[in-house]
Amino acid sequence: MEHVNDAWEPFAQANGAPGLSPRRVVGESIWSFVHGSTVQHLWQLVFGRARVERKALLLPYRCDGPGVRRYLEMELVAPDGVSVVCTSRTMREEPRPVVQMLLGDGERSGESLIVCSWCNRAQLHRTWVEIEQAIDELHLFGVARPPSISHGICDRCVREVLR
C-alpha cells in the first residue's frame, strides 16, 4: 500500500519543497527522488537488507531546513520480504540562523557543493564539515550566485549504513 500521512505536505512546504505534494509522490518510484548513483546504491543496499532481515532497521539521518537542523530516525521494515515500509520520526530540532544558500530560490552558479545525504555535512576539500563552516571557509555568504547543492555520502555515514 502506497501512502503518506497527513504530516507529509506541511513538512514538505516547511522545507521549501511544495512540489512534493502527496499527488506527486504516491505511486512514483522512490528512486526518482534519490539523487546521485552512490546514494541510490546505498539506499538499495539498505532496502535489500530490510527485505532479507525482515526486522526493523533504524537509520539516523538529518533533514535540515534553512533555519533548523533536524535529527531524524527512519525505521525500515519489510514484513513480506518485498515491500519496504519507511517511517520517519523527528528526534530533535535545533534552531539556527537562516542559511540563505539552503533556500531553494535564486540563481545558482555552475559550481556544486556536495552535501552528505545522511548527516547534511558538506564536503570541504577532503573533510566533511557543517554547512555553515563550508559556506564561511568558501566565502559564500552574500554571493550573488551560490553553488548548487549536490548530494553524496560521507565516509562516516557509509560505514554507519553498511554496518
Q: What average pLDDT does this structure show over 10-37?
A: 79
- Tell me whether residue 97 is in a domain: yes
- Tell me whether residue 116 is in a domain: yes
- Tell me whether residue 64 is in a domain: yes
Q: Kindly list the strands in the beta sheet with 85-95, ordered across the sheet, starting from the edge strand earlier in the chain.
A: 57-62, 68-77, 85-95
- Tell me whether residue 56 is in a domain: yes
**Range in 2-6, 11-15, 104-108, 118-122 with the lowest mean pLDDT:** 104-108
Count of the separate structural domains present in the chain:
1
Report the pLDDT value the prediction gives residue 104, as an integer from 0 to 100. 64
- Tell me whether residue 147 is in a domain: yes
CA atoms within 13 Å, Cβ hemisphere of 74: 15
pTM of the entire predicted model:
0.76
- Tell me whether residue 138 is in a domain: yes
- Tell me whether residue 20 is in a domain: no
Name the residue range of residue 88's domain. Answer: 34-162
- 93-115 pLDDT, tens digit per residue, is 999 887 766 766 667 777 788 88
Report the pLDDT value the prediction gives residue 67, as an integer from 0 to 100. 84
Report the pLDDT value the prediction gives residue 96, as an integer from 0 to 100. 85
- Tell me whether residue 47 is in a domain: yes
C-alpha cell at 17: 519543497
